[in-house]
Amino acid sequence: MSETLDRFLEYRNKMRQYGLAVSMLYWDLQTATPKKGVECKTEAIGFFSTESFKLSTGEAYGKLLEALSRPEEFDLLTRGIQVTVTREKEEYTRYKRIPQDFYTELVTLTAKASRVWEEAKKNNDFAMFEPVLDQMIQMTKQSAKYQEPDMDPYEFMLSRYEKGMDTKQIEKLFEELKSGLVPLLAKIKAAAKPDLSALKGEYDLNAQRQWQEFLLKYIGFDYEGGGVAEAEHPFTTSLGTGDVRVTNHFYTDDPINAMFSAIHEGGHAIFEQNIDPAFWNTAVANIDLMGLHESQSRFFENMLGRNKNFWIPIYEKLGEYMPQFKEVPLDLFYRVINDVRPSLIRTAADEVTYGLHVILRFEMEKAIFGEGVPTSRLPELWNEKMEELLGIRPETDREGILQDVHWSNGYFGYFPSYLLGSIYDGMILAQLEKEMGSVDQILKEGRVKEITRWLNERIHKNGSLYTSGEVIGNLCGEGEISAKPLMEYFNKKYSELYGF
- Which positions are catalytic? 265
Q: Name the minimum Å distance from CB 138 to Zn ion.
A: 29
Q: Give the closest residue to 386 by CA, choosing from 343, 339, 416.
A: 343
CB nearer to Zn ion: pick between 60 and 348: 348
- Please choose, from the candidates 210, 208, 214, 314, the residue with its C-alpha nearest in 3D space to the C-alpha of residue 253: 208
Site for Zn ion, residues 324 to 383, rule: CB under 5 A: none
* Smallest gap from residue 418 Cβ to Zn ion (A): 8
Q: How far is the CB of 454 from Zn ion (least distance, A)?
A: 20
Q: Which listed range, 21-29, 175-183, 291-299, 396-404, lies at the site for Zn ion (CB under 5 A)?
A: 291-299
215-251 b/e with 16+ CB inside 10 Å = b? Answer: bbebbbbeeeebebeebeebbbbbeeeebbbbbbebe
Position of minimal CB gap to Zn ion? 297
Task: Give the span between the Cα atoms of 452 and 141, in whole angstroms.
Answer: 40
Print the binding letters for residues 384-403 with Zn ion: x by CB under 5 A, - otherwise.
Answer: --------------------
Backbone angles phi, psi at 338, to 5 degrees: -120, 30
Pairing of strands 244-248, 226-230: parallel
Q: With CB under 5 A, what is the number of residues at the site for Zn ion? A: 1
Q: Which span (132-140, 174-182, 221-229, 295-303) binds Zn ion, by CB under 5 A?
A: 295-303
Q: Which is nearer to Zn ion, 84 or 297 (CB)?
A: 297
Residue 499 zone, left/alpha/beta (φ > 0; ψ -120 to 50; rest): left
Nearer to Zn ion, 302 or 482 (CB): 302
Amino acid at 258: A
Q: Does 422 bind Zn ion (CB under 5 A)?
A: no
Closest separation between CB of residue 248 and Zn ion, Å? 13
Minimum distance of Zn ion from residue 370's CB (angstroms):
27
- Nearer Cβ to Zn ion (234/255): 234
Q: What's the farthest any 2 CA atoms get from each other in the chain? A: 70
Interatomic CA distance for residues 326 and 324, integer angstroms: 5
Stretch that binds Zn ion, among 243-251, 289-297, 372-380, 459-467 (CB under 5 A): 289-297
Tell me the residue length of the chain: 500
Terminal-residue alpha carbon distance, the chain: 66
* Identity of the residue, 82 or 297, whose beta carbon is nearer to Zn ion in the bound complex: 297
At its nearest, how many Å lie between Zn ion and the CB of residue 225? 19
- CA dist 259 → 225, 311, 349, 453 (Å): 21, 12, 15, 22
For 228, the 3-state DSSP assignment is strand
- With respect to Zn ion, which residue has the nearer C-beta, 96 or 233? 233
Report the nearest approach of Zn ion to the CB of residue 452 (Å): 17
Q: Give the H/E segment covering residue 33.
A: none
From the list 497, 498, 481, the residue with the least C-alpha distance to 166 is 481
- Count of C-beta atoms within a 10 Å radius of residue 212: 24
In angstroms, give the least distance from the CB of 264 to Zn ion: 6
Q: Identify residues 137-196 at the interface with Zn ion (CB under 5 A).
A: none
Kindly indicate which of the ranges 193-201, 294-302, 443-451, 462-470 contains the residues binding Zn ion, using the contact rule CB under 5 A. 294-302
Coarse DSSP helix, strand, coil percentages of the chain, rounded to the nearest 5 percent: 70, 5, 25
| Span from 90-98, 103-111, 297-305, 473-481 in contact with Zn ion (CB under 5 A) | 297-305
Q: Please, is 104 exposed, middle or buried when counting C-beta atoms within 10 Å of its C-beta (0-12, 13-18, 19+)?
A: exposed
Comparing CB distances to Zn ion, the nearer of 297 and 307 is 297
DSSP assignment string, 166-206? -HHHHHHHHHHHHHHHHHHHHHHHHSPPP-GGGG-S---HH
* Choice from 212, 295, 297, 307 touching Zn ion (CB under 5 A): 297
Q: Could you tell me which of 490, 486, 198 has the C-alpha nearest to residue 340?
A: 490
Residue closer to Zn ion by CB (options 274, 297) is: 297
Toward Zn ion, which CB reaches closer, 95 or 260? 260
Q: Which is nearer to Zn ion, 234 or 400 (CB)?
A: 234
Distances (CA, A) of 377 to 356, 392, 401: 21, 19, 11
- Give every CB contact of residue 396 below 8 A, 6+ residues apart in sequence: 124
Q: Which stretch binds Zn ion (CB under 5 A): 9-17, 172-180, 296-304, 423-431?
A: 296-304
Shortest distance in whole angstroms from residue 451 CB to Zn ion: 19
* Distance of closest approach, residue 410 Cβ to Zn ion, in angstroms: 19
In this structure, what are the phi and psi dihedrals at residue 233, rounded to the nearest 5 degrees? -125, 140
Q: Which stretch binds Zn ion (CB under 5 A): 142-150, 281-289, 293-301, 356-364?
A: 293-301
Per-residue b or e along 185-204, where b marks 16 or more CB atoms closer than 10 Å to that residue's CB: beebeeeeebeeebbeeebb
Q: Which residues bind Zn ion (CB under 5 A)?
A: 297
